[in-house]
Structure 1
Amino acid sequence: MNTDNLTTAGEELSSLEKVKQGLKDIFGQTTDLAVVSVHVGQYEGLLCYLTTMTSTDFITGKIVKELSLSEDKEQLSKEETFRELEDCHFSGLKHETLQNMEDSSNKMVLGYAAIFVDGLPLVLAVDVRSLSSRSVEEPTSQNVVRGPKEGFTESADTNMSLIRRRFNNVKLRFEKFELGYMTHTAVYIAYLDGEVEEHILEQVRERLNSAYIDSLFDSGRIEDLLHSKGKSMQLFPTICNSERPDAVCSYMINKRIAVIVDGSPFVLIVPSIFTDFFKSPEDEYQWFVIGSFARYLRYFAFILSLIVPGLYIAVTSYHQELIPSILLTSIAAQREGIPFPAGIEILLMEITFEILREAGTRMPRIVGQTISIVGALVLGEAAVQAGIVSNINVIVVSLTAISGFVAPIYTFGAKVRFFRFGMIILSSLIGLYGLVLGCCLLMVQLTRIESFGVPYLSLFSKWDKRRVT
């Protein structure tokens, strides 16, 4: 034991009055600080904790009761009394021995109770966290018809337990990090020892250790910190997220690393590639043919959501000869009297739909869905009747919007909407040439992206491990 540390600690822990004053200086006038005078064996002591991090019943049943039992023991010195509490009475609870006020206050913020003995330069910090949290419920963003109905919660301990229950394997590892110099949020990485690439694991550790942020309340905040720096700006997400324990475990079996943030129900998966954003856990729970068909259908829907509006603008504005005569006559009849060109018409409807989608998301759940459906129907019908847009335009925008929501990962669909507007603008300017140019630029971007050294399009090209750095 370091004598210098004990000397310094002795000054601030020399008496219970100095301890009280030190706690007051650190915590100020906060109302959730409890400083209770107790008897620790035959000696005066203090029991200090934050009421917002535990319950009174837990403190009374687990801590105060044990302190009172120590009075029945024969006369012991302060050091012997302290060791008896540590080795016997609180051996079943997580605890630490501290030597100064700063460490003690930091532990109290994390949900520990600090036990001080008058004149003893040691502090016993006992874990007394007893917080109410949301129960394990069905995921809200990644639903399946067949499969487990459990979803992650905001508690990191619960989330790690959900993962551990699915891995009866001693290779499962959890490592803890602390991010946010204001919030000190716990971040954990989970992986199977011996299965993940060591250099990828080291990159994740390095980026978490070097992260410098003021606060962390959700895993989305650290996605940018973990994003791989590719050869160019990356407009597609390189980190997948999931609130399904079965999906995360499936990724971990495939040599991935899970990043769990305390306070967030979304667990990050690194590295992630293009195909990960089209996988659904349900694909593995049904017949292989059906699962494969559903996955390929998502790829097709992704292509539709990208090119359908631009293709409609290009062929109706620049390349009418590509449209069958009967269909062309029908489209021309519908567009008769429309005051806007096809490009402006599509942009107006796309922007209107985005406003409705955002309003439906932000409004209270009771009225949000109603507003979205009624708003889309009423505005669409009214716009057609007023001669602002055509019926075929409503069909194109609706098909595009529905196709954009087929991807199981919501964040990926948001990126698709961004590129769709680019395709619309290019098609409005130079027709099919602009659409082809946009697709080529998109493919170039996809081929240049890497996630922790793994090519983004690994499914479509051979993964050479020698180039992964």
Structure 2
Amino acid sequence: MNTDNMSFAGEESYRLESVKKQFSSVFGNTADLAVVSVDVGHYKGLLCYLTTMTNTDFIIEHVLKELTLSEHKEPVSMDETFHLLETVHYAALKHETLVDLDKVMDKIVLGNAAIFIDGFPKVLVLEVRTLNSRSIDEPTTQNVVRGPKEGFTESADTNMSLIRRRFNNVKLRFEKFELGYMTHTAVYMTYLDGEVEEHILKQVREKLNGSQIDSLFDSGRIEEMLHSKGKGVQLFPTVYNSERPDAICSCLIDKRIAIIVDGSPFVLVVPSLFSDFFKSPEDEYQWIVIGIFSRCLRYFAFILSLIVPALYIAVTSYHQELVPTILLTSIAAQREGIPFPASIEILLMEITFEILREAGTRMPRLVGPTISIVGALVLGEAAVQAGVVSNINVIVVSLTAISGFVAPIYTFGSKVRFFRFGMIILASVIGLYGLVLGVAMLMVQLTRIESFGVPYLSIFSRWDKRRVT
């Protein structure tokens, strides 16, 4: 907050009337500012706080009742009175002593209460922020059949407690940062001391301290900032995110760093590897063979969602000799009367599906399923009956769409959809050669990507002792 460094200087600045005027000039006529005249022992004082950032009942019960210092009948000096407030009456509350008014106002904006004594050059700031937040519910993403049902909320304090409850370990560290020069959002870097490589910790600290963003309301706002530049183009996400405490704790054990943003239920993890986006927390809660099979199935579904439409275009338009005669005859019979080539037909269906997916996501919850049913069933069936698309096209697009949703992390699936269109265009131009070229380019880029010095595909290859397992 810019208050032109209004520190207390001169006896007049300590007077309550002067303090009231400065608060009025900075906060204006905002309705949620409470400036209450109180008796602090035998002296006049002020209690200042924002009603929208604190609990009024808590203020009355735990702050106002202690201000009178009623057990001390004899007058004491201002220094002794202030010392009693710090060491006796508010010893159980987190507090600090400030002398700069601009810092005091910044603390009040964050949900603290300030106690002024008339003519005394120190201010006692109490941490009394007790905001209502969403209760701990089941995560909306990364659903599991067996496993914990708790998910992160928008409260950073709640999220840190969910991690701390699972980590009864003195090595667990929370480092606080403030990002956004307009919002002053609290951001916490979480890690296990002595487990994470120092050069990675240093890089993350530098990125957080060097942030120049104006506002921060969700962890997605700093996800791009945390992306490592590496050697290649960042075609895939290099920052893992989850709203499951057990998944984040597993990453901490694996020598990662978690980033908690106040106001966001999604916690970020760096460094992240390609394999992280195919893991589900449930893999660790069931028979290891089933877990491995499920993970392999996700890799296979990823490949299907990436190349199936392009492969269909390539073999039906350029390489019919690769298709069995009976199947080729069936495809030709279905495509009879279709006015578009296979490439245009696939693109139309893919774009239509993306529109339906976006509409189903943005529509109100009660209307979304209706849009999906009407779009997927009625519109798809009508398009086939009208001869605009073929049945085999609907099968290909449906298989591709379902496979794309197998990845546990939503942000990873969105990148796959983007690459799928690139593969379709390449296959439409030069057939299988284009598909092979696209896959080769993708693999080359994947081998060049790094996340804070860790190779993106390190799980598939050997590398030095810094390996994140």
TM-score by length of 1: 0.97
Show the counterpart of 2:121: 121
Show the counterpart of 2:64: 64
For structure 1, the residue ranges without an aligned partner over 5 or more in a row are none
The answer on 1:95 being equivalent to 2:106 is: no
Q: Is the CA contact 1:6–1:121 (under 8 Å) kept in the aligned structure 2?
A: no
Within 5 A, what are the aligned runs for 1:14-53? 14-53=14-53
Paired residue type of 1:61: E
Show the counterpart of 1:431: 431
Paired residue type of 2:65: K
Q: Is the CA contact 2:7–2:99 (under 8 Å) kept in the aligned structure 1?
A: no
Q: Is the CA contact 1:41–1:71 (under 8 Å) kept in the aligned structure 2?
A: no
Q: Is the CA contact 2:152–2:243 (under 8 Å) kept in the aligned structure 1?
A: yes
Q: Is the CA contact 1:35–1:48 (under 8 Å) kept in the aligned structure 2?
A: yes
Paired residue type of 2:352: T
Calculate the aligned-residue CA RMSD, in Å: 1.5
Q: Is the CA contact 2:227–2:451 (under 8 Å) kept in the aligned structure 1?
A: yes
Give the paired residue count.
464
1:42-94 per-residue CA deviation (whole Å, 9 max, x = no partner) reads: 11111110000112111110111001234743200111111111111000001
1: CA distance between counterparts of 2:111 and 2:264?
Answer: 19
1: CA distance between counterparts of 2:13 and 2:104?
Answer: 11
Show the counterpart of 1:183: 183
Higher mean C-alpha deviation, range 230-239 or range 15-24: 230-239
SS of the counterpart of 1:105?
helix
TM-score by length of 2: 0.97
Q: Is the CA contact 1:310–1:427 (under 8 Å) kept in the aligned structure 2?
A: yes
For structure 2, the residue ranges without an aligned partner over 5 or more in a row are none
SS of the counterpart of 1:383?
helix
Show the counterpart of 1:374: 374
Q: Is the CA contact 2:314–2:432 (under 8 Å) kept in the aligned structure 1?
A: yes
Show the counterpart of 1:241: 241
Change (3 A) 1:84 1:464: same
Q: Displacement, 1:28?
A: 1.0
2: CA distance between counterparts of 1:467 and 1:56?
Answer: 51
Show the counterpart of 2:416: 416
1: CA distance between counterparts of 2:9 and 2:53?
Answer: 26
SS of the counterpart of 2:189?
strand
Show the counterpart of 2:251: 251
Change (3 A) 1:7 1:462: closer
Paired residue type of 2:457: L
Show the counterpart of 1:144: 144
Q: Is the CA contact 1:40–1:71 (under 8 Å) kept in the aligned structure 2?
A: no
Within 5 A, what are the aligned runs for 1:376-455? 376-455=376-455
Q: How much identity, in percent, do the aligned residues show?
A: 79
The answer on 1:358 being equivalent to 2:351 is: no
SS of the counterpart of 2:48?
strand
1:307-360 per-residue CA deviation (whole Å, 9 max, x = no partner) reads: 000000000000011111110010000000000000000000000000000000
1: CA distance between counterparts of 2:375 and 2:243?
Answer: 30
Within 5 A, what are the aligned runs for 1:267-286? 267-286=267-286
Show the counterpart of 2:83: 83
1:226-251 per-residue CA deviation (whole Å, 9 max, x = no partner) reads: 11011132111000000000000001
Q: Is the CA contact 1:13–1:120 (under 8 Å) kept in the aligned structure 2?
A: no
SS of the counterpart of 1:48?
strand
SS of the counterpart of 2:81?
helix
1:166-209 per-residue CA deviation (whole Å, 9 max, x = no partner) reads: 01111111100110000000000111111111111111111101
Q: Is the CA contact 1:6–1:99 (under 8 Å) kept in the aligned structure 2?
A: no
Show the counterpart of 1:318: 318
1:280-315 per-residue CA deviation (whole Å, 9 max, x = no partner) reads: 000000000000000000000000000000000000
Q: Is the CA contact 1:13–1:100 (under 8 Å) kept in the aligned structure 2?
A: no
* Structure 1 ranges of 4+ moved more than 2 A: 5-14, 68-73, 464-468
1: CA distance between counterparts of 2:187 and 2:261?
Answer: 5
